[in-house]
Amino acid sequence: MATIKQIRCIHTRRNGSWTIVKVMTDQDGLYGIGSASDLYNPEAVVQVIEQLIAPLLVGKDADRIEDIWQTLHLSGYWRHGSIQQTAIGAIDMALWDIKGKEAGKPVYQLLGGACRSAVPCYGHAGGKDLSMLVEEVHRYLEEGYTVVRCQLGAYGGGGFREDLTNRPEGSWTNGPVFDEQTYLNAIPAMFEQLRLKFGPEIQFTHDVHEHLNPITAIQLAKRLEPYHLFFLEDALPPDQLGWYRQLRQQCTTPQAVGELFTNPQEYVPLIQERMIDFIRVRVSKAGGISACRKIATLGETFGVRTAWQEGGENDPVNQAAAVHLDMAIWNFGIQEINHFTEEEQEVFPGCIERKGGYLYVSEKPGLGIDIDEDKAALLLEADWNKSKYHRPYPLDRKADGTIVRP
């Protein structure tokens, strides 16, 4: 039996936003890694791991994954916060990595074995205008993707207005402002042109990123019905999940939800009442492989598929954990893609490999991915200082100054 000897946090990426946990055991050369990355509060996660979790786990049997998960779940008394869930998720991934190495098998084999030969993924196409977007979609199709997310620029793109005529005196912003009606008109028009250009066979998704009030979100979903989206993502914010009942009654546009979820009380009713079609929690934010396997099982019971969230700030270790789950889950739907530079991939030997529109796991034991700590340190910017890190989420506003909820 391997015993946990030490738990370390390793910072990397240029801005230091990636945090990788390394769980060391008393057996020579046996360790596991997990993703503890949080773009907005990286040091808060580290403090939870170093001050709360590490003292609890040193000396414990690394094989007791479920018992350790339950222990950590209750260790801070208050539960399901994003910081604590990320810390738990990191440890959980690392313990599964260790168990796979002990067994000499990749993690997906320990989860029941392969349900598919590879993992379909979708690309992110965007452009400031339709012509740029069409060019991006063409590029992804040429690379072999069959599902493409389409956005007019950043989140809310198509709904931003530069003109100053609709702003009050003393406006709180001089930059672009978000206008719901403009967005409500632009996105269906965008998909109308995309269908005319690419036909009915290509699968499209779109991310609303919770920018709309509930009734406008329902109107958008209804207006998108003729374009047969693969899914519409996060039409409503976590604050207004009850509106998914009305949305489901009004239209058949498939709904993907959960990027901001950390608490099971958010996603359980949506799944049980069949109000959504895809659950999109991030593996690390939901509490790791152990938690997400249970979420997937619940989804299978009620006909809801998985579409684990990645995001541009996510790291290769979380991606590896997600793809191992994808391989072993029957009700898998689609996997969001994340792209890493060659320099970043060199830090993580064994990165998930993409060929065309599919992702392939390494057949090495565990998660099949490692971290080169020397290269990880070199990847950091020379003047990086964790005490000066400050990156709050950038918020959009309406013309009158009202904050738009992400």
Confidence check: pLDDT of 311 > 70: yes
Count other Cβ atoms within 10 Å, centred on residue 309: 25
**CA distances from residue 226 to 182, 278, 339 in whole angstroms, order as listed:** 19, 20, 31
Question: What mean pLDDT comes out for the span 221-243?
Answer: 96
Q: Percent of the chain at pLDDT above 70?
A: 100
pLDDT at 171: 85
Residue 309 banded pLDDT, cuts 50, 70, 90: very high
Residue found by looking up tokens 């992702």 in the block = 359
- pTM attached to this predicted model: 0.96
**DSSP helix/strand/coil, 156:** coil
pLDDT of residue 142: 96
Length of the chain counted residue by residue: 406
Under the banding of pLDDT at 50, 70 and 90, the label for residue 406 is: confident
What is the greatest pairwise CA distance in the chain?
Answer: 70
The burial of 55, by beta-carbon neighbours within 10 Å (0-12 exposed, 13-18 middle, 19 or more buried), is given as exposed
How many Cα atoms sit within 13 Å of 120 on the Cβ side?
13
Residue-wise over 93-113: b if at least 16 C-beta within 10 A, else e?
bbbbbbbbbbeebbbbbbbee
Residues 41 and 389 sit within 8 Å (Cβ to Cβ): no
Cα-based distances in Å from 285 to 21, 82, 88, 322, 345: 14, 6, 9, 12, 22
Q: Which of 57-71, 166-180, 310-324, 366-380 is predicted with the least confidence, judged by mean pLDDT?
A: 166-180
CA dihedral for 99, 102, 108, 114, sign (positive or negative): negative
From residue 369, give the alpha-carbon distance in Å to each of 28, 53, 107, 121: 18, 23, 11, 19
The residue type found at 83 is: I
Give the range among 64-68, 86-90, 147-151, 235-239 with minimum mean pLDDT.
Answer: 235-239
Q: Average the pLDDT over 239-266 and give the result.
A: 95
pLDDT recorded at residue 50: 98
241, pLDDT greater than 70: yes
Q: Alpha carbon 75 to chain centroid distance?
A: 25
Q: Tell me if residue 31 is catalytic.
A: no
Asked if residue 128 has pLDDT above 70, the reply is yes
Task: Indicate if 358 belongs to the active site.
Answer: no
Compute φ and ψ for 345, nearest 5 degrees: -65, -30
> CA–CA separation, 163 vs 180, rounded Å?
15
**In this structure, what is the dihedral angle of CA atoms 323, 325, 331, 337, given to the nearest 10 degrees?**
-20
Say which residues have a Cβ less than 8 Å from residue 184's Cβ, sequence separation at least 6: 159, 212, 216, 219, 220, 223
Q: Is the dihedral of CA 322, 327, 330, 332 positive or negative?
A: positive
* Displacement of CA 341 from its chain's centroid (Å): 18
Name the active-site residue from 11, 124, 206, 209.
209
What is residue 29's predicted lDDT score, i.e. its pLDDT? Answer: 96
What mean pLDDT is reported for the chain? 96
- Out of 108, 140, 155, 267, pick the active-site residue: 155
49 pLDDT band, cuts 50/70/90, is very high
Is residue 270 a contact partner of residue 236, using CB atoms and an 8 Å limit?
A: no
**Whole-number pLDDT of residue 164:** 67
Half-sphere exposure of 98 (CA within 13 A, CB side): 31
pLDDT digits (tens, 9 = 90+) for 139-187: 999 999 999 999 999 999 999 998 866 788 888 888 899 999 999 999 9
Report the pLDDT averaged over residues 102-127. 97
Instruction: Count Cβ neighbours within 10 Å for each residue of 150-189 and write b for 16 or more, e otherwise.
Output: bbbbebbbbbbbeeeeebeeeeeeeebbbbbeebbebbbe
Beta-carbon contacts of 53 under 8 Å, excluding residues fewer than 6 positions away, are 7, 72, 75, 87, 88, 91
* Distance from C-alpha of 126 to C-alpha of 156, rounded to nearest angstrom: 12
Q: Are 229 and 254 in contact (CB under 8 A)?
A: yes
Average of per-residue pLDDT across 9-33 = 97
